[in-house]
Amino acid sequence: MITPVAEPSRPHAGGAVETFAYDNRIVRQFAVATAVWGVVAFIVGLVVALKLVFPGLLAGIPELSYGRIRPLHTNAAIFAFAGNAIFVGVYYSLQRLCKARMYSDRLSALHFWGWQLVIVTAALTLPLGFTTSKEYAELEWPIDLLITGVWVAFGWNMIGTILRRRERHMYVAIWFYLATFITVAMLHVVNSLELPVSLLKSYSMYAGVQDALVQWWYGHNAVAFFLTTPFLGMMYYFIPKAANRPVFSYRLSIVHFWALIFIYIWAGPHHLLYTALPDWAQSLGTVFSVMLIAPSWGGMVNGLLTLRGAWDRVRQDPVLKFLVVGVTAYGMATFEGPMLSLKTVNGLTHYTDYIIGHVHLGALAWNGGLAFAMLYYIVPRIYRTSLYSVRLANVHFWLATTGILFYVIPMYVGGITQSLMWREFTGEGLLRYGNFLETVVRLAPMYALRAVGGTLFTAGAVLALVNLYRTAQQGSFAAEEEAQAPALVREPATGAWHRRLESRPVQFAVFTFVAVIIGGVVEFVPTFLVRSNVPTIETVRPYTPLELEGRDLYIREGCLGCHSQMVRPMRAETERYGDYSKPGEFVYDHPFLWGSKRTGPDLHRVGGKYPDSWHFVHMKEPTATSPGSIMPGYPWLYERKLDTSHIEGKIITLRRLGVPYPEGFEHEARAALEEQAARIAGGLTSAGLPIDPDREIVALIAYLQRLGTDIKPRPSHTQASAAGPNGGL
């Protein structure tokens, strides 16, 4: 038992009444950023969607090719739209829940401008092809460092504010904010460990199976702690505010919080079901994923029941409308998520557009719904006016809701259709749709419908932008909102441990951090053991210098946005692609390139499947070899000279990471590269396709022809194969 004497004192309300001002300026800045970047993210998404309907759209411009702007869209939606929305919610609610101004205006400004700088650098580097290729963590190492600094500024400011609060207790929303800060910091640092080659090129510290494990541990938890926990914090603040009644069950919110942070952190591996992951990790992930339904639905019910007695207002108030749709979509998406982790369901939906539908249900309805509800709530208040047009907001609501339906339903239908087509056999035991293209062509109407949905949603967001702008115009901005509250006085700590913890944010943060770390470490021990336990395969060799350069081009062009490199051990896949993928084949893959979506076929066994000339013709104009293909052409690869200026550095960097290039090989790398390029170019030229050996396409062909060939006999029919297998290695 802790005695009052031994225990340090804690803050206590009851001192002299103090007058202070909430900082609405930072709230406004983040609100503007949310609305503007949101519209940008939606428009880029629309362009990406339209490219699948009209492959010729903006064709021939490398910076606007599908593979490069798809990550731009995902990053803009997650970090620019949802990210800024989180900060609007945190800066608005935290000050009011703590009855204190933000700790430091300077840190607030640093956070705001730093975050916008991250977004701008992402918007420049991703279309230029500077990417790590790890999904939702594509930004290169200098930007990773910038993100780390900005995130620290955010956390420092938040914790500082909490320490200076005038309210003894920490409302549940603040717990969610703290968990967000701590966990995202950990995820970002662990997943971004990479060794730089140059200013904008690095290789992941991890390889193959291990890299995939770390990446999807990050990917899953980024969804949890960036797109879920902060929005739940916002839900627990803004629903009671908008409905003007307390949260339905505060007890349930506590259970919700603890269950979420513990379960989520362990459920990562389910993203890799049916791949080369060990069974136990798959099963563990699945069990925890299924268990996630309970707290998620508890949270949803808690949010919706808070509206008890206020449902009549939902019909009139756009804020409540968006909140209700958002929370309902949260419930649907968190039911769907665990279902998707079940092996049979996962086998059906993985790599298909079903997953795209699933994530957009979450992003558009849950994150989008809460973000817009919050903007409609906050902007009139900080401008001391009422919303410019409730009718316009209602039109936005219906455009958004129908847009989401038009988006999600075609993706569900298309995803299942394609998956069933992939696995359909004839009575003779042959694949009914042996040509992958047949399954792509079938999806064309679904892609068109999806673009309609995206257009509706984007149109709604533009109306919101106009509405919020006019609201601001008609009001007068209250940059400093005066408030009064009694100062906290110190009093000895008493009461139950949980209550003491709640009123001590630093201890609380440390406890959460320790809890999450333990969870992470326990899951990570096998992950680190995996590295030394992945069976090495005698015939698996490091990439030749030319193949390595080709691989980096594959990364630059974002090929993994449409092509996986992971043949699952299912008959439908081994029939279509060849032998299933083995963990030992990826031991030199920094980073792994398994991909997560098959708009095009898997490429892990593409090496040797076609002659070099096929790739040469196909990459320039895909429809020339594959009529009906929606893949864009890559004409610039035939004009640009391969940049080999960093080949020595790449070899040295990869050797440091454990790839067994012999000592001194970096000095021979360039010669080996040129020799292999000359061989491939010579083969192509003799096949009637003249090309200089120093063009980028030669390197890409070298890489594609290498894929998956380590454990099968070297192909005999590639134009260049006669001259030796390993280009000097």
Partner 1 sequence: MSKEVLRAIAGIDTFPVISLVLFVTVFALAVLRAFCMDRQTVERMAALPLHEDGGPQGPSFIEGASRGA
Considering only residues 387 to 446 of the shown chain, the ones binding partner 1 according to CB under 8 A are 387, 390-391, 394
Rounded CA-CA distance 382/480 in Å is: 9
Pick from 423, 422, 375: which is nearest to 397 by CA? 375
Q: Which amino acid is at 491?
A: E
Q: Tell me how far, at minimum, the Cβ of 367 lies from partner 1, in Å.
A: 21
Nearer to partner 1, 587 or 642 (CB): 587
Q: Which is nearer to partner 1, 197 or 284 (CB)?
A: 284
The H or E element spanning position 667 is: helix 665-686
What residues numbered 616-635 form the site for partner 1, per CB under 8 A? none
With CB under 8 A as the contact rule, the residue among 484, 494, 507, 623 that binds partner 1 is: 484
Comparing CB distances to partner 1, the nearer of 113 and 280 is 280
Tell me which DSSP letter residue 77 carries. Answer: I
Stretch that binds partner 1, among 179-187, 261-269, 571-579, 627-635 (CB under 8 A): 261-269
Nearest-approach distance from CB 374 to partner 1, in angstroms = 12
Q: Which of residues 487-546 bind partner 1 (CB under 8 A)?
A: 496-499, 502, 515, 518-519, 522-523, 525-526, 529-530, 533-535
Spatial CB neighbours of 125, under 8 Å, sequence gap ≥ 6: 131, 139, 140, 143, 200
Q: For partner 1, which stretch binds (CB under 8 A), given 67-75, 243-251, 429-437, 547-555? A: 243-251
User: Are 438 and 395 in contact, with CB atoms under 8 Å apart?
Assistant: no
> Could you say which residues in the range 133-172 bind partner 1, by CB under 8 A?
167, 169, 171-172
The dihedral formed by the CA atoms of 362, 230, 123 and 117, expressed in degrees to the nearest 10? 170
Specify whether the CB–CB gap between 699 and 650 falls below 8 A.
Answer: no
Q: How far is the CB of 490 from partner 1 (least distance, A)?
A: 20
Vertex 403 angle, CA 399 and 408, to 5°: 155
Asked if 582 touches partner 1 (CB under 8 A), the answer is yes
Rounded alpha-carbon distances, angstroms, from residue 192 to 147, 185, 213: 11, 11, 13
Of residues 44, 72, 214, 242, which one binds partner 1 by CB under 8 A? 242
Token pair recorded at residue 623: 């429809």
Shortest Å distance, C-beta 522 to partner 1:
4
Q: Which stretch binds partner 1 (CB under 8 A): 198-206, 222-230, 256-264, 698-706?
A: 256-264
Q: Which of residues 43-102 bind partner 1 (CB under 8 A)?
A: 93, 96-97, 99
CA 312 – CA 221 distance, rounded (Å)? 37
Instruction: Kindly give, in sequence order, each residue whose CB lies less than 8 Å from that of residue 283, ignoring residues fewer than 6 positions away.
Output: none
Q: Which of 250, 311, 398, 425 binds partner 1 (CB under 8 A)?
A: 250
One residue of 208, 240, 632, 693 binding partner 1 per CB under 8 A: 240
**Nearest-approach distance from CB 209 to partner 1, in angstroms:** 7
**Among positions 32, 48, 158, 247, the unique one binding partner 1 when judged by CB under 8 A:** 247
Q: Which of 255, 437, 452, 462 binds partner 1 (CB under 8 A)?
A: 255
Q: How many residues bind partner 1 (CB under 8 A)?
A: 76
Q: Least distance to partner 1 from the beta carbon of 244, Å?
A: 7
* Buried residues in 59-83 as b, exposed as e (16+ CB within 10 A): eeebebbbbbbbbbbbbbbbbbbbb
**E-only strand ranges, 653-694:** none
Task: Look at strands 480-492 and 194-198 and give their pairing.
Answer: unpaired
Q: How far is the CB of 493 from partner 1 (least distance, A)?
A: 15
Rounded distance between C-alpha atoms, residue 102 and residue 20, angstroms = 11
CA–chain centroid gap for 413, Å, is 23
Beta strands in 379-498 (DSSP E): 480-492
> Any contact of residue 348 with partner 1 (CB under 8 A)?
no
Q: What angle do CA 319, 322, 326 make, to 5 degrees?
A: 140
Report the residue number, 96 or 655, with the smaller CB distance to partner 1: 96
Tell whether residue 380 is a contact of partner 1 (CB under 8 A).
Answer: yes
Q: Which two tokens stand for residue 417?
A: 């259709």
Q: Which is nearer to partner 1, 486 or 635 (CB)?
A: 486
Question: Residue 362 or residue 583: which is nearer to partner 1 going by CB?
Answer: 583
Amino acid at 580: Y
Q: Which is nearer to partner 1, 126 or 387 (CB)?
A: 387
Which CB, 523 or 547, lies closer to partner 1? Answer: 523
Q: How far is the CB of 194 from partner 1 (least distance, A)?
A: 25
Query: How far is Cα 130 from Cα 135, in angstroms, rounded to an integer?
Result: 13
Other C-beta atoms closer than 10 Å to the C-beta of 557 total: 23
CB of 346 vs partner 1, minimal distance in Å: 18
Tell which phi-psi region holds residue 280, choosing left (phi > 0), alpha (psi between -120 and 50) or beta. Answer: alpha
Q: Quick one: which of 308, 343, 384, 656 contacts partner 1 (CB under 8 A)?
A: 384
φ, ψ of residue 575 to 5 degrees: the values are -65, -40
Going by C-alpha positions, the residue among 720, 703, 357 that lies closest to residue 557 is 703
- What is the closest distance, in whole angstroms, from the C-beta atom of residue 536 to partner 1 in the complex? 10
Among 246, 664, 690, 713, binds partner 1 (CB under 8 A): 246
Which of positions 271-310 make contact with partner 1 (CB under 8 A)?
A: 276-280, 284
Provide the minimum distance between the beta carbon of 388 and partner 1 in the complex, in angstroms, as a whole number. Answer: 10
- Our CB check for partner 1 shows the closer of 120 and 522 to be 522
Distances, alpha carbon 683 to alpha carbons 553, 633, 638, in Å: 21, 22, 16
Distances in whole angstroms, Cα of residue 278 to Cα of each of 61, 209, 288: 42, 10, 16
Tell me the window of 193-201, 233-241, 439-447, 452-460 that interacts with partner 1 (CB under 8 A).
233-241
164/655 with CB nearer partner 1: 164
Residue whose CB is less far from partner 1, 269 or 545: 269
- Residues numbered 308 to 327 that lie near partner 1 (CB under 8 A) are 313, 316-320
Query: Nearest distance from residue 323's CB to partner 1, in Å?
Result: 11
- Secondary structure class of 505 (helix, strand, coil): helix
Burial call 10-25: b when 16+ CB within 10 Å, e when fewer: bbbbeeeeeebebbbb
Residues found in the chain: 729
Judged by CB under 8 A, does residue 177 bind partner 1?
no
Q: Is 267 in the site for partner 1 (CB under 8 A)?
A: no
Which residues in 690-719 contact partner 1 (CB under 8 A)? none
In angstroms, give the least distance from the CB of 318 to partner 1.
7
Q: List the structure tokens of 56.
A: 């010729």
- Check binding of 470 to partner 1 (CB under 8 A): no
